Amino acid sequence: MESSNNENPAISFELFPPKTEKGVEKLKLVVAELNALHPEYFSVTYGAGGSTQDRTFATVDWLREQGIDTAPHLSCIGTDKDEILDILKRYHEQGIHRIVALRGDLPSGSGLGGLGELNYANELVALIREHFNEDFHIEVAAYPEFHPQAESAQADLDNFKRKVESGAHGAITQYFYNADAYWRFCDDCRQRGITIPIVPGIMPITNYSSLARFSDACGAEIPRWIRKRLESYGDDLDSIQAFGADVVTSLCRQLLEGGAPGLHFYTMNQSDSVLQISSALGLSNGAPAS
Ligand code: FAD
């Protein structure tokens, strides 16, 4: 096994709050398996406008009870400041010290009214820093292939800089399958004086149709050669997963060898692919094999 140039990459895992009892039981198994890789933390997504608030709290509470470092996501769109501050106070009292601060996207047809008091993630970051100073380590989102609503690449980079200047400590990227987009984004950031760690978000490939749908919506590009191969496997999930694990392992290896500070896996509450990729990278004990 090749070893990485990055001797000590931080790995972390994103979970979503399950909707059913069966989902909760599955999540517990997945967390037990992934926790054996000694991640830095697990993050838990949050529905914009508070649409999954209670389920996020329940998942965060359970992770905390297990003694696991947890980073709740918090989005600001459609929510007023007092409500956000109440949530932050709750997390603060629980001893949570990391937050993923986002604008969020209001679910279509959610019936939630206006945008709320905070329209962009940089305003949420500023609010957290104003009320909690350095008590929370704040992660924000970064988009190496640019956010779909950004006016231009430059405008998106300017926005990212605004989030950093508002007090973000680190960033997690939207997923991508083209390492050059990440390197170029990091170079542009360095040229703008941005020095916070920018951790690549990694989406394992396990199902072509849902990945394609999701990628179209969030502006993450699946390169044509990958799409074509995945299409050619049809319903053959084993082949999709074997090819996907190969492609994503190779991407992760390039990223770590190039000096990425860590890897943040979008687990989709599944452990198989992440374990396969981590093992191929030699990350099975939380650090690359020498
Ligand atoms: P922002 O940084 O506010 O940017 C949003 C858009 O506005 C960009 O196009 C930006 O260029 C533009 N912009 C920013 N500031 C200004 C300004 N002052 N004037 C004009 N334009 C501006 N969504 C959820 O609902 N729940 C989650 O748990 C969740 N987790 C995520 C985790 C990660 C790591 C990532 C990458 C995304 C996540 N998302 C989540 C999705 C995210 O909420 C969406 O991508 C959302 O559309 C943008 O959120 P943001 O925090 O990047 O927004």
| Cβ of 103 below 6 Å from ligand 1 | yes
pLDDT for 221-248, tens place per residue?
Answer: 999 999 999 999 999 999 999 999 999 9
Residue 287 has pLDDT above 70, yes or no: no
| Cβ of 12 below 6 Å from ligand 1 | no
| Cβ of 104 below 6 Å from ligand 1 | yes
* pLDDT at residue 111, rounded to an integer: 52
Distance 243 CA to ligand 1 centre (A): 30
Average pLDDT over residues 261-266: 98
Residue with the smallest CA separation from ligand 1 atom 30 is 45
Residue 108 has pLDDT above 80, yes or no: no
Bridge partners, 263 (sequence order): 11
H, E, C per residue of 112-163? CCCCECCCCHHHHHHHHHHHHCCCCEEEEEECCCCCCCCCCHHHHHHHHHHH
* pLDDT at residue 17, rounded to an integer: 97
pLDDT for 59-74, tens place per residue?
Answer: 999 999 999 999 999 9
Residue with the smallest CA separation from ligand 1 atom 49 is 103
pLDDT for 159-185, tens place per residue?
Answer: 999 999 999 999 999 999 999 999 999
Residue 285 has pLDDT above 90, yes or no: no
Euclidean distance between CA atoms 201 and 241, whole angstroms: 18
3.40.640.10, 3.40.50.720, 3.40.50.2300, 3.20.20.220: which CATH number matches 10-204+263-268? 3.20.20.220
Q: Which residues are catalytic?
A: 14
Lowest mean pLDDT among 51-55, 169-173, 197-201: 51-55
What share of the chain has pLDDT > 70, as a percent? 92
Euclidean distance between CA atoms 171 and 188, whole angstroms: 14
This prediction has a pTM of: 0.95
Residue with the smallest CA separation from ligand 1 atom 32 is 141
* pLDDT at residue 3, rounded to an integer: 38
| Average pLDDT of the chain to the nearest whole number | 92
For the CA of 148, the nearest atom of ligand 1? 9
* pLDDT at residue 4, rounded to an integer: 43
